[in-house]
Amino acid sequence: MQPKQGDVWSYEYLWRWQHEEGSEHGRKPRPTALVATVVGKDNRTNLFILPITSKEPVASRLAMEVPQIERKRAGLSSDIRLWVIMDEYNHDILETSFSLDPNGKIGTFSSVFIGKVLVAFKEAALRGRVRSVPRTE
């Protein structure tokens, strides 16, 4: 299955702090929001993946709460609060990824919700508030 913008996937997300400690793999598969897929000049598909968490982010984190209707639409638990974290992301390559399970698609956010996430993510990136965790090695 070809991942596309707005999809929610189970993915071994590698948090920035884990990466800085030298880890190469996430500790567990978790729901993640795929905010962009970009085919590069080398014809490889770049994936830009944001984590989804049930732990309420501290005020210094850039996050957007997932509305209940979006949690339900995306196949996530609708009875717990969830946030998309937008100040860090995993950059992976679809064709060589060891972390993306080809059968791991959970669901899809609406185009309206993922559009809001993408706008906030881009604005934060332009202000230098977003950090990449490369998963392309």
Helix (H, G, I), strand (E, B), or coil: what is residue 71?
Answer: helix
**Percent of the chain whose predicted confidence (pLDDT) is above 70:** 99
68 Rama sector, left if φ>0, alpha if ψ -120 to 50, beta otherwise: alpha
Structure confidence at residue 137 as a pLDDT band (50, 70, 90): low
User: Structure pTM?
Assistant: 0.93
**Residue linked to tokens 């596309």:** 4
Residues 66-72, mean pLDDT to the nearest whole number: 96
pLDDT value, residue 97: 92
Most confident segment among 20-24, 28-32, 81-85, 131-135: 81-85
User: What does CATH list as the number for 7-134?
Assistant: 2.30.30.110
Least confident stretch, 17-31, 38-52, 68-82: 17-31
Alpha-carbon distance of 63 to 52, in angstroms, equals 9
pLDDT above 80 for 123: yes
Domain segments of the chain: what residues? 7-134
